[in-house]
């Protein structure tokens, strides 16, 4: 098997692992908890809370009609998956940080898309808060997307670009002493 195929197989396994862990944790929460039930893990900081989010991140579009949300999220998801796949195939082979980040984002996007197709909404259960101030609940897929995007931003912000040598420049190795 050539290196390129092996690399894509590994990246597919990373994305598939995100999907499997995401779906398994959501299934576990749905089977063991009632909707809106909350189990404190770290008092006044973190709970497992079973909710369903019909909207986008942070509940955006939650009040829109079900038909609108299905079309909007379907089109948006297909566009995002196509864009991420294109970016992944265009990244240089040596750019492992970029590739792993995209694989995690793809896995997260697929995990949430599965929920939307199955239930018309996304299962969320990770609830971070301080006293009465709650961050919007999220899930493993959301975490993979957030970590992947954060890593890409940092990676591209600090990526070193080597300036190409122009035709008129003499490479440093050919200069006389």
SS (H, E, C) the chain: CCHHHHHHHHHHHHHHHHHHHHHHHHHHHHHHCCCCCEEEEECCCEEEEEEEECCCHHHCCCCCCHHHHHHHHHHHHHHHHHHHHHHHHHCCCCCHHHHHHHHHHHHHHHHHHHHHHHHCCEEEEEEEEECCEECCCECHHHHHHHHHHHHHHHHHHHCCCCCCCCCCCCCHHHCCC
Name the nearest CA neighbour of 150 among 110, 104, 90, 112: 104
172 occurs within a structural domain: no
**Residue 52 structural domain:** 3-157
Catalytic residue among 22, 115, 127, 142: 142
42 occurs within a structural domain: yes
Q: What is the pLDDT of residue 77?
A: 81
CB contact at 8 A, 85 and 102: no
83 occurs within a structural domain: yes
Domain count, the chain: 1
pLDDT of 166 higher than 60:
no
164 occurs within a structural domain: no
- Any catalytic annotation for residue 124? yes
- Any catalytic annotation for residue 162? no
Tens-place pLDDT, residues 27-36 = 999 999 999 9
175 occurs within a structural domain: no
Catalytic residue among 22, 115, 124, 127: 124
Residue 155 CA, distance from chain mean position: 16
Tens-place pLDDT, residues 65-116 = 667 767 777 788 888 888 888 888 888 888 999 999 999 999 999 999 999 8
121 occurs within a structural domain: yes
pTM, rounded to two decimals: 0.81
Tens-place pLDDT, residues 31-55 = 999 999 999 999 999 999 999 988 6
């Amino acid at each position: 098997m050539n290196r390129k195929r092996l690399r894509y197989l590994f990246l597919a396994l990373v994305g598939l692992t995100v999907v499997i862990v995401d779906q398994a944790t959501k299934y576990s929460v749905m089977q063991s908890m009632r909707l809106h039930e909350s189990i404190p893990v770290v008092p006044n900081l973190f709970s497992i809370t079973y909710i369903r989010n019909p909207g986008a991140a942070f509940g955006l579009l939650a009040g829109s009609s079900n038909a609108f949300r299905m079309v909007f999220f379907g089109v948006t998801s297909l566009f995002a998956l196509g864009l991420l796949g294109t970016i992944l195939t265009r990244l240089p082979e040596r750019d492992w940080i970029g590739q792993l980040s995209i694989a995690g984002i793809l896995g997260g996007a697929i995990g949430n898309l599965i929920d939307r197709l199955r239930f018309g909404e996304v299962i969320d259960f990770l609830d971070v808060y301080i006293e009465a101030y709650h961050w919007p609940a999220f899930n493993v897929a959301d975490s993979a997307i957030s970590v992947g995007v954060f890593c890409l931003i940092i990676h591209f912000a600090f990526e070193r670009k080597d300036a190409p040598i122009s035709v008129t420049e003499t490479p440093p190795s050919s200069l006389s002493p």
